[in-house]
A = this chain, B = another copy of it.
Amino acid sequence: MKQSTSTQDYLKHIYELTECGLPASTNDMARKLNIKPASVTGMIQKLATEKPALVEYQKHQGVTLTPAGRRAALEVIRHHRLLETWLVQTLGYSWDEVHEEAERLEHVISEDFERRIAAALGNPARDPHGELIPTADLKMPEDDSTPLSALRPNQTATIQRVIAQDPNLLRHLESLGLTPGIQIEIMEYSPFDNNLTVKVGRKVNVLGLNITTKIFVEIK
């Protein structure tokens, strides 16, 4: 029942890679986990033969989670996001410092610890990056946000979440005022490079695809 740190990280990353609906490829997994593709194949084969199976796997076809695997993944993701929230709220971490710490803690906290921090935080719905936190019964709430890259001039929106762990990117976004809850307005769109000119407060910035695809918003 209780999985190793490695297994938990594999399941978490498979969850994230398959959110788009497609199976996760061996190479993508290897890149994301910083492990060689050959090792990924080996581990995936093991996860597929556990009882109950944690992943669905067919040679050369990529991998998806079984219901048991999804539950295990959501458990880890809940830990991770609660921990991040809690490191920010109670220990004064900034949003670019929490990821690495949560990455290690997520595997060792007890269910009791999970309940205690969830309660202390008032069962938060989102983590410091705006990501949804799976509920205590391991359901992932629906997300209705749109990538900023899809907006066009004159649209107004509220930033809901930012998909990034890189501390440098997170600090950059913070310096631009692009954090969850903030209102923005699209001023211009340039085709070909897909840049968006965005007004945040009274500042105006031109943002490239590398940024606009990582920010998800709720359109007004």
Contacts and interface: CB of A to CB of B under 8 A. Distances in A.
Interface in A98-122: 100-101, 104-105, 107-110, 112-113, 116-117, 120
Interface residues of A, number: 18
Interface in A71-112: 90-93, 97, 100-101, 104-105, 107-110, 112
Contact of A90 (B90, B104, B110): B90
Contacts of A90: 90, 120
Copies in the complex: 2
B109 A105 contact: yes
- Majority SS at the chain A contact face: helix
Contact of A113 (B91, B107, B109, B116): B91
A101 B108 CA distance: 8
B91 A116 contact: yes
Given A101-B113, A113-B101, A91 B120 contact: yes
B110 A108 contact: no
Contacts of A93: 116
13 contacts: A91-B116, A91-B117, A91-B120, A92-B116, A93-B116, A97-B112, A100-B110, A101-B110, A104-B110, A105-B105, A105-B108, A107-B108, A108-B108
